[in-house]
Structure 1
Amino acid sequence: MAHQEPKGPDVYQENFEPTSYLDYYKMNQDPIGDEVLHFLLKHYNATFKPEYSYSKTGGLEGKLLVDIGSGSTIYQFLSACESSQEIIATDYTDKNLQELEKWLKKMPGLFDWSPVVKYVCELEGNRTGSLLLWEPGRQAENGREWREWSA
């Protein structure tokens, strides 16, 4: 029987390479990538932080934030951590979920998010306090802790 090429969603599942995708999120590597990442981070910050919010009522706030299609990235959660009690990251591909798990469990080969986290902390006016919150397995002063979640 001849080998069949994957079709539909299987193409993405088999061929998407999260480590190549993550190269785009390395700060100070590519001016265009930095510009896009800074734009996204500033707007996430404005969305979740009342002092930077464009709305009159302040930033978004809630008990649970579910990110559908997180990919292999965490940058979209950085500004949300103070305004959400729990954050759930979901993705279609096993490879993306494995990348998130590497970060969560501090496994070998994890992507270094520290330059991105430091940039967000600077946006928020707190260079060190927020870094503690974003260290997996460490409980922050607000009682929040990163943990693995499965259905």
Structure 2
Amino acid sequence: MMARSPFKLYHVHGMDSRQYLEDYFSDKPSMSFREDALIFPIQALTETFTKGHIKGDILVDFSSGPLVHHLYAASEFFKHILVLKIRDRCILELKRWLDTRTGAFNWRHVTKLHVEEENSDQLQDKEEKVRSAAQHVVKCDLEKENMTDPIVLPPADCIISAWLLDVICKDQDDYIRYLRKFSGLLKPGGHLLIIGCLGRTYAIIGKDKIRDFAYDEDFAKKALVGAGFVIDNCKVKRRTAVSDLTDYKAVIFIAAHKEK
């Protein structure tokens, strides 16, 4: 009998969504991923959106866990953010914050990074802008031709995918297959913004060890081109975090657009 793998699969077994936020995205003193998981993605997205050529009516967010911090910059340039999730637990955790429910994760440390003055009115206004834009949270099935069946999504102007491909792909073919699925959700010329970790094979979340697909910058770029995208910008930040929770080597941000 073969030994059971110690790894769990994000899209099959799920994960502890709150623990994911606490360990990788919180403002706890013990959280060592601030520069890599918060500052770098926020700066890259803010810089990308403020150039002004990525905007429109609909942005689709297809990311891991109940993340919010990558949507702040987008909420300034898109009227509607459609959030797709594959796990009910992530939906519940995300909606706690969107609906300002008791016990919601506190993203105020991220809000402060997006305002010039940390007065309560500015902070609340910024958070309300994100909440107003991201009111539509939809469960999806990765393997269906229409992932949101029976809902048919309108073609999107932009897709953000943060750390999702890292955990749902088992190999290179999977990565390219999902990129093509993303392309099918976009208008011709629509933009795709990807955030991921390079060289990561696992991430520990609570008692679970989640398996990741390890890839490098060269592969990610070739995969995008092979899936019909034109790369507009790519940034790579070498790892600064000191932690045994995960083994990634760097964080990557890629901005690309779908060929017309």
Give me the whole-angstrom Cα distance separating, in 2, the residues matched to 1:31 and 1:137: 24
Give me the whole-angstrom Cα distance separating, in 1, the residues matched to 2:42 and 2:107: 13
Distance 1:33 1:103, change over 3 A: same
What is the match of residue 147 of structure 1?
135
Once the two structures are TM-superposed, the CA of residue 30 in structure 1 deviates from its matched residue by 4.2
Identical-pair percentage: 23
Please tell me the residue identity of whatever aligns with 2:105: F
Check whether the contact 1:61–1:83 (CA below 8 A) recurs between aligned residues. Answer: yes
- Match of 1:112, SS state, is coil
- The answer to which structure has the higher helix fraction is 1
Give me the whole-angstrom Cα distance separating, in 1, the residues matched to 2:53 and 2:42: 14
What is the match of residue 171 of structure 2?
none
Distance 1:15 1:146, change over 3 A: closer
Once the two structures are TM-superposed, the CA of residue 94 in structure 1 deviates from its matched residue by 0.5
Check whether the contact 1:105–1:137 (CA below 8 A) recurs between aligned residues. Answer: no
Give me the whole-angstrom Cα distance separating, in 1, the residues matched to 2:35 and 2:130: 31
Mapping of residues 20-59 of structure 1, within 5 Å: 20-23=19-22, 24-27=24-27, 29-30=29-30, 32-36=32-36, 37-50=38-51, 58-59=52-53
Q: Are residue 61 (structure 1) and residue 62 (structure 2) matched?
A: no
Distance 1:99 1:49, change over 3 A: same
Give me the whole-angstrom Cα distance separating, in 1, the residues matched to 2:129 and 2:12: 26
- Match of 2:106, SS state, is coil
Which one of the candidate residues 128, 131, 135 is aligned to 2:128?
135
Once the two structures are TM-superposed, the CA of residue 12 in structure 1 deviates from its matched residue by 4.1
Mapping of residues 2-151 of structure 1, within 5 Å: 12-23=11-22, 24-27=24-27, 29-30=29-30, 32-36=32-36, 37-50=38-51, 58-121=52-115, 125=116, 127=118, 129=122, 131-135=124-128, 147-149=135-137, 151=151
Give me the whole-angstrom Cα distance separating, in 2, the residues matched to 1:72 and 1:135: 17
Give me the whole-angstrom Cα distance separating, in 1, the residues matched to 2:20 and 2:60: 22
- Match of 2:76, SS state, is coil
Distance 1:43 1:115, change over 3 A: same
Give me the whole-angstrom Cα distance separating, in 2, the residues matched to 1:78 and 1:120: 8
Instruction: Give RMSD over aligned pairs.
Output: 3.0
Aligned residues between the structures: 130
Per-residue deviation, residues 60-93 of structure 1 (Å, max 9, x unmatched)? 1111000113520111100011100111111111
Q: TM-score, with normalisation over the residues of structure 1?
A: 0.70
For structure 2, the 5+ residue unaligned runs are 1-7, 139-150, 152-260
